[in-house]
Structure 1
């Protein structure tokens, strides 16, 4: 499955950035495609 992620918080030092990164990693580990962030 292909995903695109929209992160609405600042890029560094926030929970939003950390959560988005962890979600992106989990997608890739499970074999999904991340088309854009």
Structure 2
């Protein structure tokens, strides 16, 4: 359940990053952290 919420947050982050390139890098880092998990 907690992991599911985390995935949703990352997904929203990716959506917001589409507009801002700086956030895009943060979103990619978050995605990599998710992959490590």
Give every structure 1 segment of 4 or more consecutive aligned residues whose post-TM-superposition deviation is greater than 6 Å. Answer: none
The structure with more helix, counted as a fraction of residues: 2
Larger RCO (CA under 8 A, 6+ residues apart): 1
Name structure 2 gaps, 5 residues minimum.
Answer: none
TM-score norm. by structure 1 comes to: 0.51
Name structure 1 gaps, 5 residues minimum.
Answer: 31-37
The structure with more strand, counted as a fraction of residues: 1
